[in-house]
Structure 1
Amino acid sequence: MKKLSVLAVVAATCALFSAYSQAAGGEIAVIVKSANSNYWQNVQKGATAAMGNAKGYTMTLQGPAAESAIADEVNMVENAVNRHVAGIVLAPSDPDALVPAMKKAWEAHIPVVLIDSMVSDSGKQYYQSFLSTDNTKAGELCAKAMIEAVGQTGKIAIMSYVPGAGSEIGRVGGFRKYIETHSKLQIVGPFYSQSQMATALNQTTDVLAANPDLKGIFGANEPTAVGMGRALQQSGKSGKVAAIGFDGNQDLQGFVRDGTIRAIAVQSSYQMGYKGIETVVSVIEKKPVQKQVDTGVMMVNKQNLDSPEAKNVLY
């Protein structure tokens, strides 16, 4: 009996690790933080392009109406598991809330590849690879640009997005730590827009009014930075308050071109989508993948805005 029990455990373990490769092909579910953002639409472009090389697979893409609609994203992952998809490419909007749904995927032998944001340590066994910007380094680059713009003293503000999101923790944390370590700048905030442009516009307007001596301001993701830029223009502070933004849609490119924003840190969201599909297909087909992949970031300003390198990441 003991020998049979050991054999049964070995067989079950082998089945678990080979399950991903049993049947190549099928649906790949790409689930992002929001369907209403150029950033995530650029992820979709990359994923769609990669599907051209993924023979036998189909792709679906979903995202909640807003990045703060975390429960909706959890439901999307659970529904994908219930559909028995071949694999999931996931941008988790919350480091903890998505872990139980990821566990369900793991228990169903459905591989999960994370993009953009990490989950908490409790979820690390439930994904096979993580592709993202090194958000801490990106935050540090933005802080360096800020210090170059405003100097070592004075007051700056942080306009953030969803508190607790994996990318937000690294990005804003990296920015704040670098500022505190390498300058004597006073930080106002952070203020959280919930990734809503209109909220960021109103918050920035209030911050500018309450702090007439503000020397600089950092907008930490696309909708937040766009709202920040519009508030600077509407308040007549364009070019007077040094602004650093994040991400690279058409609005932000326009702000860089007209001087409203000095520089933007641009992630390769296209590469996240493209490599996300490539990676999940590799897992399904039992090919080796890296546990973590840095998809890079580029600081774009008026001087390099029209360069080939910038055009490869702007969208």
Structure 2
Amino acid sequence: MKKFSMLAVSALLLTLFNTGAQAAGGEIAVIVKTVNSNYWQNVQKGATAALEKEKGYTMTFQGPAAESDIADEVNMVENAVNRHVAGIVLAPSDPDALVPAVKKAWEAHIPVVLIDSMLSDSGKQYYQSFLSTDNKKAGELCAKAMIDRVGQTGKIAIMSYVPGAGSEIGRVGGFREYIAAHSKLQVVGPFYSQSQMATALNQTTDTLSANPDLKGIFGANEPTAVGMGRALKQTGKGGKIVAIGFDGNQDLQSFVRDGTIQAIAVQGSYQMGYKGIQTVVSVIEHKSVPKMVDTGVVVVDKQNLDSSEAKNVLY
């Protein structure tokens, strides 16, 4: 009996040790969809700024070469788990493929905070908070901006990015649903660039050629919208077709300023990085956090391009 009691106590202590929350301090792994994008580099700036206010933490920032390199991102999460990081801030490139890796983090008692894109329902229990643009609402705002400028009838095209990505489902889905509910516009596409600017440029050029009666076009993320804008300029159709873009790097700001693109919906990417670090640190330090945080979106056009509201989100 005494031997049994000693074993039971030892097992209990081991269980308590293994299930206890992480001690404050240590490495925070920030893993995004790709490092080759100004959008994600702006997330990094926000994360770095937030980390400077926290004591005892270091940060690693990484992502695949392209958003479509889903397996690489899965490996990055698994490697972070294997080196026992204190916490993970993750922008999942695929809502299903990342679930097993996030589950491994949960099993290792490593907190995970998602930014930008959601996991599928099967992964909801494995992360602690989700910080993102309300992508459905953002897509609706882009659709409204389109209808306001092209009217109720005619043909428009959707240039999208990675099919199945959580943000893409909400954003393009919200756009299409709003168009269908509030107009009689005919939709061509969506066409998927895989978040490659050159691909978006070629797809837009082909779409413009195949649809000479096109009245409007929507570019649903940064590299796609930049490729769309360049195609419009190269074909001489900039300003002749209503173009609505997404995200707010220098190229897109220039397109708005010269009239190639009429409006861009800009996310709080800096805030995602900043609040992502703040949130994961709070979890590590046993503080309560909200399950969801809306980081907002601002529709920027030529009229408000230089306003303080726009400058707070442009990058």
Q: What is the CA–CA distance in structure 2 between the aligned matches of 1:126 and 1:136, rounded to whole Å?
A: 23
1:83-102 equivalences in 2 (<5 Å): 83-102=83-102
Give the structure 2 partner of residue 59 of structure 1.
59
Rate the CA distance shift 1:175–1:9 in 2: closer, same or farther, 3 A.
farther
Question: What is the Cα deviation at residue 18 of structure 1?
Answer: 3.2
Q: Which residue of 2 aligns with 1:74?
A: 74
User: Any idea what the Cα deviations from partners look like across 1:191-238, whole Å, max 9, x if unmatched?
Assistant: 000000000000000000000000000000000000000000000101
Cα distance, 1:155–1:126 mapped onto 2, change above 3 Å:
same
Matched residues in 2 for 1:189 and 1:306: separation? 33
Q: Which residue of 1 aligns with 2:20?
A: 18
Equivalent residue number for residue 164 of structure 1: 164
The Cα offsets for residues 85-113 of structure 1, whole Å up to 9 and x where unpaired, read as 00000000000000000011001000000
1:133 and 1:268 mapped to 2: Cα distance? Answer: 7
- Taking the aligned partners of 1:172 and 1:209, their CA distance within structure 2 comes to 23
For residues 235 and 15 of structure 1, the distance between their equivalents in structure 2, rounded to whole angstroms, comes to 64
Aligned residue type for 2:147: I
Aligned 1:263-278 pairs, distance under 5 A: 263-278=263-278
The aligned runs of 1:99-248 (5 Å cut-off) are: 99-248=99-248
Amino acid in the other structure paired with 1:25? G
The offset of 1:7, in angstroms, is: 9.5
Q: Partner amino acid for 1:95? A: P
Shift of 1:54: 1.2
Structure 1 CA distance for aligned equivalents of residues 31 and 200 of structure 2: 25
Structure-2 change in CA distance of 1:264 and 1:9 (3 Å) = farther
Q: Secondary structure at the match of 1:233?
A: helix
Letter aligned with residue 19 of structure 1: A
SS of 2:289's equivalent in the other structure is coil
In 1, the alpha carbon distance for the partners of 2:54 and 2:101 equals: 25
Per-residue Cα deviation, 1:112-164 (whole angstroms, up to 9, x for no partner): 00000001001001100000000000000000000001000000000000000
8 Å contact kept, 2:34–2:67:
yes
Matched residue type, 1:54: E
Structure 2 SS opposite 1:200: helix
Compared CA separation, residues 11 and 134, structure 1 to 2 (3 A): farther
Match of 1:288 in 2: 288
Identity %: 84
Q: How many residues align?
A: 312
Cα distance in 1, alignment partners of residues 10 and 217 from structure 2: 61
Residues 111, 127 of structure 2: 8 Å contact kept:
yes
The Cα RMSD (Å) is 1.9
Normalising to structure 2: TM-score of the pair? 0.96
Quick one: which amino acid aligns to residue 263 of structure 2? A
Mapped to 1, the partners of 2:226 and 2:311 lie a distance apart of 19
The CA distance in 2 between the partners of 1:289 and 1:79, in whole Å, is 26
Residues 1:151 and 1:6: Cα distance change in structure 2 (over 3 Å): farther
- Conserved in 1, the CA contact under 8 Å of 2:242 and 2:261? yes
Kindly state the Cα deviation for residue 309 of structure 1 after the two structures are TM-superposed: 0.9
Partner of 1:261: 261
Aligned residue type for 1:29: A
1:86 maps to amino acid: A
* TM-score normalised over the length of structure 1: 0.96
SS of the aligned residue for 1:19 comes to coil
Deviation at 1:19, TM superposition (A): 2.3
Distance 2:29 2:56 in 1: 14
SS of match in other structure, 1:205: helix
Gaps of 5+ in 2: none
Report if the CA contact (8 A) 2:200-2:223 is conserved.
yes
Secondary structure of the structure 2 residue equivalent to 1:306: coil
Q: Which residue of 1 aligns with 2:309?
A: 309
C-alpha distance in 1 between matches for 2:211 and 2:12 = 65
